[in-house]
Chain A
Amino acid sequence: MSQFFNALVSKGFFGKRIRNGVHMFSLILFVVVIVCSVSNLLVPEQSIFYVSTYTITLLGKYLCFALLALSVDVVWGYCGVLSLGHGAFFALGGYGMGMYLMRQVGDRGVYGNPDLPDFMVFLDWTELPWYWFGMDQFWFAIAMAIFIPGLLAFVFGWLAFRSRVTGVYLSIMTQALTYALMLAFFRNEMGFGGNNGLTDFKEILHFDLQSNETRVGLFFLSALVLIIALLLSQKIMKSRFGRVVISIRDGESRARFLGYVTDHYKVALFVYSAVLAAFAGVLYVPQVGIINPSEFSPINSIEVVVWVAVGGRGTLYGAAVGALLVNYAKTKFTAVLPDGWLFALGALFVGVTLYLPNGIVGFFEQRISFLKGDSSRELDSFEVKDKKSVSEVEV
């Protein structure tokens, strides 16, 4: 197991350079989203070109997952920091949004209390806890939903990276982080709805959450945020900052001896990544209509890592592709064989690790450059080396 882990964390595994698939992917995504939106809003329901609202919401959810996968790829693919706790930042962002949506319910809840959410009335709370104040303001709630995960990532990253915790140990710590948060949020005394979480939302910014228009709007917004995040991440990774980050991944002590304070770079990147994950959570919650502590569960975060591995590490858009594909497969698979999904996921992960070390995107990029014949030989030699190192480790 630990050898398998090492294979994942080891540097020989990455080695993809940035190509411009990001622009292509963003363009395709944009077109698809426009087409879907138009087909939902303007095409009559009987037409075969009609896209149901259910599909729109489902796709919107996938796009949030794609953004989450992107956030993991930024730290894992480029800096070699395998975080198994990014679900925590996602869920915290989601809770921030959930708190806002809860306050928007107002006196339309089951108990009709204008200030207190239903679960607080149910628990006989008489007044709003201090950390709920201001969450009825949209801008404040969003600011908090982004700031709190960012702050957590900063504190966690500062402590972990300064003490030079790396590799498997760091992964275990991130997992412990999200697990601890899950246990905390399960408690009713925390004031976040305990086991049931936050749900029964009515409207966002006075738009009805159930209406087609709002759902398409949220779907469109998710796509837009994903595209912006992709382009921004690409810009960052193509700057000298990005090159330093890759250098830290491949030779941290070398980077240190060149005069880079590597902890600062890692913390900065980790915070950026956590903010992306938080945005994903913020967009996710109004679309699925619920946020509960199970979002913190370590298995969710591990799934994200699988998406990234399937799509292709260190390519940015590969993570998004992986998230979309795996989630589509999950939706189809769980409809047929609900209990088998985790086995399928595990098999997928092992299969991809063994046979597609650069993920789906990496595989196709390789084929394309091979067909073009203009490929740099150097990269090919890397692939060979990758395969060798993986099989050696597996044996």
Chain B
Amino acid sequence: MSENYGQRGLWRRDRVWSFLEPRAREVDVSRNVILYIEGVTVNFDGFKALNDLNLYINDGELRCLIGANGAGKTTLMDVITGKTQCNQGSVYFGQTINLLEHSEPEIARLGIGRKFQKPTVFEVHTVYENLELSLKTYKGVWYTLSAKLSMEEMDYIDEVLNIIGLEKHRYQVAGALSHGEKQWLEIGMLLAAEPRLLLIDEPVAGMTPQETERTAELLTSLAGDHTVVVVEHDMEFVRSIARTVTVLHQGSVLAEGSMEAIQNNPDVIEVYLGDQP
């Protein structure tokens, strides 16, 4: 990372020195691309979880990432959100923000929300409190000691409750929600943070068909205002929401395109179905 910084961060003539720029700032999407992932390699003791991966996500698009287990989908999310350090490569949020220099909470405050594979909500808090904690506001120790909800914030929480369809459960403890409701609540928590980019890891795992359908509607309605990246195994689901699909294989991009093109892509067929006569 330091090598990377020296070569590209400090000497790039098109960019102000990064340490002169404020750390938290608006994402610059003037080139219509919100996420640049270039040459990212993650090495876990010799095993390359990501191998020279290049990926560009456009502002406002809904992108599906698919791939077999171990293809590097979750590792990629870890790198974007600052959980895992990458050995090589660069990750830029918009034109200017180098995500590799930021910690997880900073990245979250920059406007990248992440939903985990397993629904992760705060079970002892009510649905309402879960959303309150996720609001985009100051997150410092002193501020939260005396923080009160403003009228706008309450309205916004109501709006989010409405979007995720949990108005009736607002004062219920989140631990008492069903699996699907927890997944929606977690998506709601991301929305409450007003992110630019949503990373959603397997949203429909373990859902009933009806719940899956609702989730698909929810995600498609979010695209446009937000950029949504969905990792999913369920092909039916991907087909129902995807406009562009990226296939990962062994840590790099194997194919990219519309669902139809992907399904007819010989490389993808070979990886997924093995050698066919």
B255 part of interface (Cβ distance < 8 Å): no
A17 part of interface (Cβ distance < 8 Å): yes
CB <8 Å contact, A258 and B146: no
**Which chain B residues in 29-70 approach chain A with CB under 8 Å?**
none
Assuming the contacts A15-B124, A254-B120, asked whether A378 and B147 have C-beta atoms less than 8 A apart, the reply is no
**Which chain B residues in 167-216 approach chain A with CB under 8 Å?**
172-173, 175-176, 189, 193
CB <8 Å contact, A258 and B108: yes
CB <8 Å contact, A244 and B175: no
A108 part of interface (Cβ distance < 8 Å): no
Assuming the contacts A251-B122, A381-B176, asked whether A243 and B129 have C-beta atoms less than 8 A apart, the reply is yes
How far, in angstroms, from A378 to B172 measured CA to CA in the complex?
Answer: 8
How far, in angstroms, from A263 to B92 measured CA to CA in the complex?
Answer: 26
Digitize B124-157: 1 where CB-to-A-CB distance is under 8 Å, 0 elsewhere: 1100010011100001110011110000000000
CB <8 Å contact, B189 and A258: yes
B101 part of interface (Cβ distance < 8 Å): no
A373 part of interface (Cβ distance < 8 Å): no
How far, in angstroms, from A240 to B114 measured CA to CA in the complex?
Answer: 22
CB <8 Å contact, A250 and B133: no
Digitize B97-121: 1 where CB-to-A-CB distance is under 8 Å, 0 elsewhere: 0000001111011000110100011
Determine which of B113, B123, B140 lies in contact with A264 in the assembled complex, contact meaning CB atoms within 8 Å: B140
A28 part of interface (Cβ distance < 8 Å): no
Instruction: Give the nearest-CB partner of B122 in chain A.
Output: A247
Distance from B160 Cβ to chain A, minimum over Cβ atoms (Å): 14
CB <8 Å contact, A261 and B122: no
Assuming the contacts A256-B105, A265-B141, asked whether A239 and B125 have C-beta atoms less than 8 A apart, the reply is no
Main secondary structure of the interface of A (DSSP, over half): helix
Digitize A242-263: 1 where CB-to-B-CB distance is under 8 Å, 0 elsewhere: 0110110011011111111110
Distance from B99 Cβ to chain A, minimum over Cβ atoms (Å): 13
Digitize A63-84: 1 where CB-to-B-CB distance is under 8 Å, 0 elsewhere: 0000000000000000000000
A14 part of interface (Cβ distance < 8 Å): yes
How far, in angstroms, from A376 to B133 measured CA to CA in the complex?
Answer: 22
Assuming the contacts A239-B144, A243-B125, asked whether A257 and B81 have C-beta atoms less than 8 A apart, the reply is yes
CB <8 Å contact, B122 and A239: no
Determine which of B83, B108, B172 lies in contact with A259 in the assembled complex, contact meaning CB atoms within 8 Å: B108
Instruction: Name the interface size band of chain B.
Output: 20 to 34
Distance from B183 Cβ to chain A, minimum over Cβ atoms (Å): 14
Instruction: Give the nearest-CB partner of A15 in chain B.
Output: B124
Distance from B176 Cβ to chain A, minimum over Cβ atoms (Å): 4
Determine which of B105, B125, B172 lies in contact with A261 in the assembled complex, contact meaning CB atoms within 8 Å: B105
CB <8 Å contact, A241 and B134: no
CB <8 Å contact, B105 and A246: no
Instruction: Give the nearest-CB partner of B125 in chain A.
Output: A243
CB <8 Å contact, A258 and B193: yes
A382 part of interface (Cβ distance < 8 Å): yes
CB <8 Å contact, B122 and A254: yes
How far, in angstroms, from A240 to B133 measured CA to CA in the complex?
Answer: 8
How far, in angstroms, from A14 to B147 measured CA to CA in the complex?
Answer: 25
CB <8 Å contact, B104 and A243: no
Distance from B17 Cβ to chain A, minimum over Cβ atoms (Å): 25
CB <8 Å contact, A378 and B175: yes
CB <8 Å contact, B134 and A258: yes
How far, in angstroms, from A261 to B108 measured CA to CA in the complex?
Answer: 10
Instruction: Give the nearest-CB partner of A250 in chain B.
Output: B122
CB <8 Å contact, A241 and B145: yes
A-B CB contact pairs (8 Å), 30 listed: A239-B144, A239-B145, A239-B147, A241-B144, A243-B122, A244-B144, A246-B125, A250-B124, A251-B120, A254-B121, A255-B133, A256-B105, A256-B108, A257-B108, A258-B105, A258-B108, A258-B139, A258-B193, A259-B109, A259-B139, A260-B139, A261-B140, A264-B141, A268-B141, A377-B176, A378-B175, A379-B173, A381-B176, A382-B124, A382-B175
9 A-B pairs with least C-beta separation? A378-B176, A259-B108, A378-B173, A241-B144, A240-B147, A259-B109, A240-B144, A256-B104, A254-B120
